[in-house]
Structure 1
Amino acid sequence: QSLCDESAKRAPGKRLIPATAVAAVLRLRFPQVDTALGTQFNMGSETPTLVVTDALKDYSDTIEPWRLLQTWASRQVDSQKKWKPEAQFDEGALKELYEFFRAYDLALLRKAREHAMERKLGHIDAEAVAAAFEVNLPKNR
């Protein structure tokens, strides 16, 4: 919700929040570097967490990033099924969010895997996911 609120502030008076506003908020709160190898996030360790381009392509076949957006959107309607916020994301902004969620979700899973391996687990559990989130809290929340 805070991504929507901050993005709307960058587009005052507009009913549609543009991709440029969303991109500015995401880059400020979740710094990332796009390279030829993929996307890097600083996930609280000395070495940035790299999500390789092939992993991003593979993950494109899933619906998880859209599910995140759908879950958020379903919480934005009132009891009469009317959209509550005054502004909404335009198509470019939704694509920007999709691309971010796709890369960031994979980076968090990679970091959670590291936490699970440190505890000698053969799987990622809720504690590992929580630890991955904890070390990478968004800036300027």
Structure 2
Amino acid sequence: MKNIYKLLLIAMCAFSANTYALTTKEAAELFPVTITAIDEPKESYFNHVMIIHYEIENLSDKDVTAIESSIVFENPDGSTFISLAANSLEIKSKSKANGQFGYDFNKSNFTDKKMQLLGLKMKTWLKVKEIIYSDGTYEAVSD
């Protein structure tokens, strides 16, 4: 009976080790995001919308069918904002995928100088929750 419990414990440890094979930092390094362009802000109903164009690169050796993730943008002042999930992103191994995100902001909080700094110094990364590969396998990502 003790041997059965030991086997179950080993199996559970092996399962949990496989379930979270990547950390969020490792996943962000595997799928780096680059801002390619920022459009001039356009007036919306109450705020202004700035369209941020970005590129996600797949550095892994597998084709990806979908990534459950969000894109995190960090302003020069350290504040961050997060895009909605991009679940249907399909990207081949060792290639890039383009996308865009509309950032809604209050113009009274931004001067022209702040807008220039924002475009030059904004950092971005992918906060990945789960990766589904084209061969049917998936990887859950731990924090």
TM-score class, shorter: under 0.3
Which protein is richer in helix relative to its size?
A: 1
Give the structure with the higher percent strand.
2
TM-score, length basis structure 2? 0.22
Larger radius of gyration: 2
User: Normalising to structure 1: TM-score of the pair?
Assistant: 0.22
